Structure 1
Amino acid sequence: MEQKRRAEQPKATSAATRVRRPRQRLRLPFDGRKQDWGDWAYTHRKGLVALLIAAVAFLATLLVMEFQLSGEPSYQEAMFVDTRTLEEILEEKERLEREIERKKAQDIEWERVRNMQSNDALVNEAVTDDRGTDVDKLNEQAEAVAERMAANRNAHNAGMAEVDAIGKGEKSDDKASEKKGSDSHYKGGVTVRYKFENPVRNKRDLVIPAYRCETGGQVEVSVVLNQGGEVISAKVTWGGDEEMRREALRAARASLFDINLNAPDRQTGTITYTFIPQ
């Protein structure tokens, strides 16, 4: 009995072994086909979701930073200066200054200054004489100046007489042309004021500009004299139009003043020309 049971036991073991052994997978014809994107995405869905969340967070951070930076003031834009506007302002300022000078020139009482010449430095000395200067000495200087002026006037008249004598022969030939052009010219007077100090210089031959315009104005010329009274340089400081400036410069360069060996080699002064309209 026992032998029979032992003989049957291995058969039961082999049957149990057959039941536990996995069944071999069948090979199908479509097992070797390629996997599509849908299957790949489904297989890696966890990694794709994590990557998408990280990208959204990164973009949100960038947007927040850009918004914060755009809210700050731009100092470069606040300090921007339009240079073209500044140039226009300067041009307008110069134009207004010229207009003011022209207006002042028009307001001058021309009749009161017609055919006058004055030495401003001597006028200033006369003012200081009232404060204690020796009057006798001043009178002597004035007499000396008057004598020099009379001598210069006589020399000038003699020179003008010679010029008139020379020009008489040409008058008859030029009479017709002068009559033809008389409508385009205006006869006007010019007054001259000059000022030289430390020491005071007086005129020896003060040239009067030839003025042929209808309007009036003033021109101040800065000149430099040598000890011989010659004008070695001249430039317009202010006033007048182009023709007035040109005539004033020509007259200033041709003028002569008294010789003074005590004067510096280069003495600066001013000559002011007042052009009077007719």
Structure 2
Amino acid sequence: MSNLTSLLRISKMTWATRLKTNSHTGLETWCFQVQGQDMITPIRSENIKHVNPAGQWVICDMIEKSGYLEIMKISTLPNSYVAEHNEKIKFHLQCAHQDQHYQVFRLWSFYHQITEANLKDFFYEILSNKIFIVWLYSFQDKNNNRQLTQSINIADNAKKIATQINVSKNVTDLSFIAGLLYNIKEFNIQYLSDNVYSQQSEERFFQNLVIREQLIKLKEKREQPYHILLRCLQINSKISNNPYLVELITHMALKISK
């Protein structure tokens, strides 16, 4: 058995399709589109029965051996064979760095796990906002930390806190979204001078948000999540009087994410 600890481990989000089956050997031939190239490999039927043969986005955990990639584990992205989702995911992967594929998978997996319809629609609109997505994957702070890594870290911690205190799934989902979007103020800072940014009123802050249109749509459907998210986006060193529960969770997540 190979010593896997010395091998390069890679996670790649790929589009997987079945090319043919062989009932005699129990093997299926699959095509995985990896880094712009087709990787064609035989896989035992029982190891890939959870993937849609007509095509589905998957995350492949691979190891590199002697210049070749070997698939160790395949995880599916639910409902990712929807054509509209397909195009959005492709755009994410175009923006993402090679080591960000697992995070792309995480974002879209979370979208499919949201049960509340209005919140699900809002998050889909966020994932479809090309300006925000380009910034999210590409921006680095002065210490060369990638924005996506920081944002998902805050979101994960918010979700963990919400789970630990046993709140509803909607509150847990909203906490993850609030954590993910918290650093969006950094986008404003990039396009406004420090002076202008520091003097922004709540109205000016909202007007300059890159996700302003998505928030307006959310407000038209359900006002409370809109107000909660806007409050969370404005958390600085201290929270407001009479804070929402999600606001408290986000504030705690910020503290442990530093």
TM-score range, shorter chain: under 0.3
Q: Normalising by the residue count of structure 2, what TM-score does the alignment of the two structures yield?
A: 0.23
Greater relative contact order, per chain length (Cα 8 Å cut-off, separation 6+): 1
Q: Please identify which structure carries the higher strand content.
A: 2
Q: Normalising by the residue count of structure 1, what TM-score does the alignment of the two structures yield?
A: 0.22
- Give the structure with higher Rg (CA): 1
